[in-house]
Structure 1
Amino acid sequence: MTRSPRDLVAAADRLLTPPPGTMATLTPGLRARAAAALLRLALDEAMDDFWRSVSPRMVHSRGRTKALCLEYVSPSVARQWYAVWSALSAACHHHTYELPPTPAEVRAWHADVTELLRSMPPTPAPSRP
């Protein structure tokens, strides 16, 4: 079952700001890393949704390839998407010698992802024969 990008962003938000009275069983660093993973997945799903409507075969390409091709449609969105996607990818990979991303960093990426979802190019209407 796939979730919409907005559902994934909402789930990341719930991880970053649990409801009052909820016992925090996860450390803030673990919550931040999990939220970063959800945000990156939201970016991937949004990009797949876009390409599925434009050229379904592009869905099977790698993330960098999709971003490079998006440069021809919307250069500014493509650059911002790749910058945020790269930062989230780095945050999602656990290394024993690195600290997890801080909740503040992930909240900033959350704002970036929310903005990117709003600014993704509209999917073109199907052409009529």
Structure 2
Amino acid sequence: MTRSTRDLVAAADALLTPPPGTMPSLTPGLRARAAAALLRLALDEAMDDFWRSVSPRMVHSRGRTKALCLDWYVSPSVARQWYVVWSALSAACHHHTYELPPTPAEVRAWHADVTELLRAMPSSTTPTRP
């Protein structure tokens, strides 16, 4: 069962801001890393949905390739922002013992970026370049 991008972003928001009066069972760093994973999954799902409508074979490509090809279908600034946020979330999702987890503030900033990017995705699939 796949979740909608809206559900994934909402779940990330719930991890970052637990309801008042509750004692969260996860540390802020663990919640931030889990929220980053959900946000990256939301970007991946949105990218796959986009490529299914443009070129279904692109769905099987790697994330970086999809982002680079996106430059032909959206404005360069949106494609660039997509790649930057996707790369940052990818790095945040990989756990290394010598690195600190992302801070909740960093993930909140990425949350805002992901929300903006999901709104910016075109409904038209016409290439923007000749």
TM-score, structure 1 as length reference: 0.92
* Partner SS state of residue 58, structure 2: helix
Q: Quickly say closer, same or farther: Cα 1:89–1:14, change in 2 above 3 A.
A: same
- Name the % identity: 91
Q: Aligned residues, how many? A: 129
8 Å contact from structure 1 (residues 74, 121) kept in 2: no
> Is 2:44 the partner of 1:44?
yes
Q: Where do 5+ consecutive residues of structure 2 fail to align?
A: none
How far does residue 51 in structure 1 lie from its aligned partner after superposition? 0.6
In structure 2, relative to structure 1, the CA distance for the partners of 1:113 and 1:127 (3 Å cut) is closer
Task: Report the Cα offset of residue 123 of structure 1.
Answer: 3.9
Distance change >3 Å, CA 32–CA 48, structure 1 → 2 = same
- State the superposition RMSD in angstroms: 3.3
Distance 1:34 1:110 in 2: 12
Query: Conserved in 1, the CA contact under 8 Å of 2:74 and 2:121?
Result: no
Higher mean Cα deviation, 117-126 or 87-96? 117-126
Aligned-pair distance for 1:74? Answer: 2.9
- Give 1:119 shift: 0.4
User: After the TM superposition, which residues 1-129 of structure 1 pair with which residues of structure 2 at under 5 Å, given as runs?
Assistant: 1-71=1-71, 72-124=73-125
Deviates more, 1:100-109 or 1:115-124: 115-124
Structure 1 runs of 4+ off > 2 angstroms? 123-129
Structure 1 residues 103, 62: closer, same or farther in 2, change over 3 A? Answer: same
C-alpha deviation, 1:73, in angstroms:
3.7
Looking at structure 2, the residues matched to 128 and 98 of structure 1 have their Cα atoms a distance apart, in angstroms, of 41
- Structure 1 residue 127, shift from structure 2 partner: 17
Q: Would the alpha carbon gap of residues 27 and 46 (structure 1) be closer, same or farther in structure 2, given more than 3 Å must change?
A: same
Moved more, 67-76 or 110-119: 67-76
Gaps of 5+ in 1: none
Give the conservation status (yes or no) of the 8 Å contact 1:8–1:41.
Answer: yes
Find the residue that maps to 1:3 and give its secondary structure: coil
Give 1:68 deviation, angstroms. Answer: 1.0
SS class of match (1:100): coil
